Structure 1
Amino acid sequence: MTPTDPSTAPTIGRRRLLLAGLAAGTAAPWIGAQAQSYPSRPITLIVPWPAGGSTDRHLRTLAEIASKHLGQSIVIENRPGAGGTLGPATMAQTARPDGYTIAQFPLGLLRMPHMQKTAWDPLNDFTYIIGVSGYTFGLTVKADSPYKTFKDYIEAARKQPGQINYGSTGTGSSPHLLMEELAGNAKVQLTHIPFKGNADLQAALLGGHIMAQSDASGWDKYVDGGQMRLLVTFGEQRTQRWPEVPTAQELGYGVVSTSPYGLAGPKGMDPAVVKTLHDAFKKAMDDPKHMEVLGQLNQAVWYRNGEDYRKWAGETFAKDKALIERLGLAAK
């Protein structure tokens, strides 16, 4: 018989249907099994800042606790650059969405596309996993600085336009933008010097290479140790740890910033894998050891599930576009 023999057609047709049915029936269980076996090897968490800074300290502790709930180790990979956007953006463009590579999602990712052309989209190229915390930002000077108060620093900038500088963790980062907004409100001109992250920035201040640093609370040990002086913080209220230090808001500069952040992966992640990661990190967030580290950094919990985190990101992306345009930092 030949394949074209009409008498064989029903048999061949039935066979094809049977094979198709078997394929369809086994595909879903295979995908489910992949999710059920996750994680079966170590997970990489990209921290887009140098080791030793406040974010690195926080996420190393959080990852260590979460790894116990996942049954696999979480390896921290420090990949600084581009104001905290290089590491996560590279992950979004190159990593497989299998849950084995995730990253911190700093607020700068929602701002950078407004300031320059990017090859990635912060809303569509990431899978939002969980919102975690926000920063306590402050401006510090070296202990022997002539600026005893924030008013002294601003008055110096008023008398010497462009001659008073400060460092931050990168162009477009929250420590940079909040100082630019404040300078605009105070009607002074400050010179911004960007660094790759906290460690480099702090070394520059302690070495006398810059006059001040705008940063998250990675400076805490230097302030408490007497090597730096904290002039101002940027929360809605004074901090519990440094209650004698005024906020920019109460000094009349109209700037409040906490820059919430969380964890994200590449787009297209399996929802079951996302849930596994979310649940493990949520348990880690509630752990007393994690709360102790947040207390040391003077940071608050900022919990959002993946859906709420994605919604918040969309709203913030639109709002920060207006801020960047107002500061004259928008892409031409």
Structure 2
Amino acid sequence: MRTTNRLFAALFAAFCGTAAAQTYPVHSIEIIVPYSAGGSVDVMARAFSRELADILSTQVVVNNRDGAGGTIGVAAVANARPDGHIVLFSPSSPLTQAPYLMGRVPYQPDSITPICQIFENPFVIAVRKESPIQSLKELLDQARAQPGKLSYGHAGPGSVPHLATANLAKSSNVSFNEIAFRGDAQVIPQLLGGHVDFGALGVSSVVGKDLRILAVYGDKRLPGLPDVPAITEFGIKHAVIARNGLYVNRGVAQATRDKLEQACRTATEKTEFQTAASQLYQQVSYLNSATFAARLAGDHDTNRALIQSLGLLKTGN
């Protein structure tokens, strides 16, 4: 009798999971962006949400839950009801970098399950047009002459631009005065106002503004900015990859995750989304759940080693 009951329970659970996937979504979907409105991740999330709403025939709302290097927004998804109606649209940095830079984050990295990679976000070093600094070489020369004086803004502790600029400083034997903000959108006015000397920012936050781009954090130049050198052209290793994707609470049923994964792939293939990404100088790069998870696992090891080499490793989580 007990065996029969266990079999019935298993069949019932499987039936419920399948039924949930067939009806999913049963109401609107909330996309949590763990950075402030107006930044590159937020803009891409809104472009993606329009496609997702069309594919899944439901309302999709973007909610910015910024702060603490993206960890506040991630925690909201980690603690959400696991029905797939609250999802995370985020860089991987709160998962693969923040735990090593901050020592303690309000979630376990494995409490979030990757659905798909959507795009890779190029970051740049930018100054005001009025700045006397005309090139990355001049910036580094000034930093050597005045250690710790040049200030820069980044999107928060554990973010890709934070880690990339720390790597730049160490590799060039210079020091900067770093100032953390809650996203690119908060860095821009400080940079334009002359309150920081340069910014490490997502390229889509910079283009079209009264800023001069000195270099791209990457191993090649961007098609839309062919005159801007890549950081590797200065002998600096490209330290981190800014993977951006969709995630859910790990308790979400597999069938629901599969439906979201397929919707994600369809959205990234839409001409409208690819055009929007191109206009923002973003690189659409879809990866399915399994491949994305494998890349993230590798990033954990790579980022921990890099953070430790920079003397920034903290433990305690």
TM-score by length of structure 2 reads 0.93
- Residue among 47, 51, 57 paired with 1:71: 57
Residue type of the alignment partner of 2:80: A
Listed as ranges, the matches of 1:30-45 within 5 Å are 30-45=16-31
Percentage of matched positions with identical amino acids = 32
Q: Shift in Å at residue 171 of structure 1?
A: 1.4
Q: Shift in Å at residue 222 of structure 1?
A: 3.4
Residue 209 (structure 1) aligned with residue 195 (structure 2): yes
- 1:141-180 Cα shifts (integer Å, max 9, x gaps): 1110010111111111111011111110011211011011
Partner of 1:163: 149
Give the number of aligned pairs: 313
Partner of 2:81: 96
Partner of 1:144: 130
Distance 1:146-1:272 versus aligned 2 partners, 3 A rule: same
Residue type of the alignment partner of 1:290: F
Residue type of the alignment partner of 2:244: Y
Partner of 1:330: 313
Listed as ranges, the matches of 1:47-62 within 5 Å are 47-62=33-48
CA distance in 2, matches of 1:20, 1:311: 34
Residue type of the alignment partner of 1:65: E
> SS at 1:41's partner residue?
coil
CA distance in 1, matches of 2:259, 2:11: 25
1:137–1:257 CA contact under 8 A, matched in 2 = no
Gaps of 5+ in 1: 1-12
Partner of 2:108: 121
TM-score by length of structure 1 reads 0.89
> SS at 1:213's partner residue?
strand
Partner of 1:7: none
CA distance in 2, matches of 1:319, 1:255: 12
The alignment yields a C-alpha RMSD, in angstroms, of: 2.0
2:35–2:67 CA contact under 8 A, matched in 1 = yes
CA distance in 2, matches of 1:53, 1:261: 13
Q: Shift in Å at residue 89 of structure 1?
A: 2.2
Distance 1:22-1:137 versus aligned 2 partners, 3 A rule: closer
Residue 220 (structure 1) aligned with residue 213 (structure 2): no
Partner of 1:310: 293
CA distance in 1, matches of 2:91, 2:218: 17
Residue type of the alignment partner of 1:184: K
Partner of 1:153: 139
Distance 1:29-1:163 versus aligned 2 partners, 3 A rule: same
Gaps of 5+ in 2: none
1:141–1:231 CA contact under 8 A, matched in 2 = yes
Q: Shift in Å at residue 23 of structure 1?
A: 6.2
Q: Shift in Å at residue 119 of structure 1?
A: 3.8
Distance 1:177-1:32 versus aligned 2 partners, 3 A rule: same
Residue type of the alignment partner of 2:91: P
Q: Shift in Å at residue 113 of structure 1?
A: 1.4
CA distance in 2, matches of 1:31, 1:91: 20
1:88–1:104 CA contact under 8 A, matched in 2 = no
Q: 251-260 vs 310-319, which deviates more?
A: 251-260
Partner of 2:247: 264
Larger radius of gyration: 1
> SS at 1:230's partner residue?
strand
Q: Shift in Å at residue 20 of structure 1?
A: 8.2
CA distance in 2, matches of 1:112, 1:19: 45
1:47–1:80 CA contact under 8 A, matched in 2 = yes
